């Protein structure tokens, strides 16, 4: 959903600036530009080859290097329609109903606090923040983030990561820059949930970091419910004797004579292989 904020003329062209307003979801964070593009059309660190798609669909890249910021802003300078006093204000974005929105391009900077996968080092953050705010680039920093390595089963290291992040971003938080750290496991454990955003991913779909009874009770206490349900009818029902093995990698072995039902969907349809062995068949009538 969006709400019109201002309408003004720029070089004979009407420029509409909108502030976005969503219900229970402020922004969608996606792992890749392809996933983000599909999300935008339907309602990890960005790489140089993704820049055109990111700009076309008004996606916010997660960046960690000066090199990418320079490439991003160079491409932005050549593609933007509105420019004044060396400041680029808007990127043209077309929605489903062909309404053209002009939105200020933004970036998210990721800080590596210990996972050693994506993100800049803490001592590099001040320089990236400075470059990100150079007016001639015409971009703004939407937020700063980090990602936890073991939020589910290593509270000591997770707290160390959180402390490093809060120390590295102290100055910018005081300036109003948004920060976020909490993925699904961190949300359940309560790490960084008091910051500006949380990033539920697998939790939205009812996928948990662990399927032990105590984990289920924690999730139920949070009041979360899955946003994805699978409804299907069996395409084959048969009876197999004890000792037979079923499924990929022969993971399930029958301890007694049982009735086995086969359903016509699988991982090719988006059903995660991580759910193997955790079925919840409730009605076979």
Please list the rounded mean pLDDT of every run of 10 residues in the chain (285 residues). 35 36 43 50 60 78 87 73 42 49 74 92 91 60 93 93 97 93 92 94 75 76 73 86 85 89 78 70 57
d(CA 209, CA 152): 7
Quick check: is 188 in a domain?
A: no
Burial class (CB in 10 A: 0-12, 13-18, 19+), 247: exposed
pLDDT value of residue 16: 34
Quick check: is 227 in a domain?
A: no
- Indicate if 9 and 141 belong to the same structural domain: yes
The model's pTM is 0.64
Q: Which two tokens stand for residue 120?
A: 């800049």
* 3-state secondary structure at position 220: helix
pLDDT value of residue 103: 57
Quick check: is 162 in a domain?
A: no
- Indicate if 126 and 258 belong to the same structural domain: no
Tell me, what DSSP letter sits at residue 191?
S
- Indicate if 136 and 241 belong to the same structural domain: no
- Indicate if 142 and 33 belong to the same structural domain: yes
d(CA 56, CA 108): 17
pLDDT value of residue 79: 62
Quick check: is 225 in a domain?
A: no
- Indicate if 17 and 131 belong to the same structural domain: yes
* Residues 66, 131 contacting (CB under 8 angstroms): yes
Q: Which two tokens stand for residue 109?
A: 């900077």
Last residue of a domain, one of 147, 182, 216: 147
- Indicate if 121 and 13 belong to the same structural domain: yes
Return phi, psi of residue 268, to 5°: -65, -20
Last residue of a domain, one of 87, 120, 147: 147
Q: Which two tokens stand for residue 149?
A: 């390595």
- Split into its structural domains, the chain has a count of 2
pLDDT value of residue 133: 62
pLDDT value of residue 246: 85
Quick check: is 180 in a domain?
A: no
Measure the N-to-C terminal CA separation of the chain; round to a whole number of Å.
41
Quick check: is 175 in a domain?
A: no
- Indicate if 7 and 120 belong to the same structural domain: yes
Q: Which domain holds residue 261?
A: 234-275
Last residue of a domain, one of 106, 128, 147: 147
- Indicate if 116 and 249 belong to the same structural domain: no
d(CA 205, CA 233): 21
Quick check: is 83 in a domain?
A: yes
* Residues 50, 136 contacting (CB under 8 angstroms): no
Quick check: is 130 in a domain?
A: yes
d(CA 56, CA 49): 13
């Amino acid at each position: 959903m969006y709400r019109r904020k201002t309408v003004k003329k720029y070089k004979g062209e009407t420029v509409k600036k909108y502030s976005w307003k969503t219900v229970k979801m402020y922004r969608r964070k996606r792992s890749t530009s392809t996933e983000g593009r599909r999300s935008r059309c339907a309602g990890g660190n960005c790489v140089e080859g993704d820049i055109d798609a990111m700009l076309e669909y008004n996606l916010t890249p997660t960046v960690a290097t000066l090199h990418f910021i320079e490439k991003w802003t160079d491409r932005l300078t050549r593609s933007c329609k509105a420019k004044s006093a060396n400041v680029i204000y808007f990127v043209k974005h077309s929605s489903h109903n062909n309404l053209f929105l002009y939105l200020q391009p933004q970036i998210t900077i990721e800080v590596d606090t210990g996972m050693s996968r994506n993100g800049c080092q803490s001592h590099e953050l001040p320089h990236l923040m400075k470059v990100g705010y150079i007016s001639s680039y015409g971009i703004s920093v939407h937020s700063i983030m980090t990602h936890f390595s073991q939020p589910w089963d290593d509270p000591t290291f997770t707290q160390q990561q959180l402390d490093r992040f809060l120390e590295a971003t102290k100055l910018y938080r005081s300036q109003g820059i948004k920060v976020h750290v909490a993925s699904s496991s961190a949300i359940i454990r309560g790490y960084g949930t008091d910051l500006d955003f949380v990033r539920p991913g697998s939790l939205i779909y009812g996928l948990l970091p662990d399927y032990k009874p105590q984990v289920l009770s924690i999730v139920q206490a949070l009041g979360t419910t899955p946003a994805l349900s699978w409804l299907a009818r069996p395409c084959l029902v048969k009876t197999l004797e004890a000792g037979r093995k079923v499924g990929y990698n022969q993971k399930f072995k029958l301890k007694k004579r049982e009735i086995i039902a086969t359903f016509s969907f699988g991982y090719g349809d988006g059903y995660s292989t991580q759910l193997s062995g955790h079925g919840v068949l409730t009605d076979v009538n």
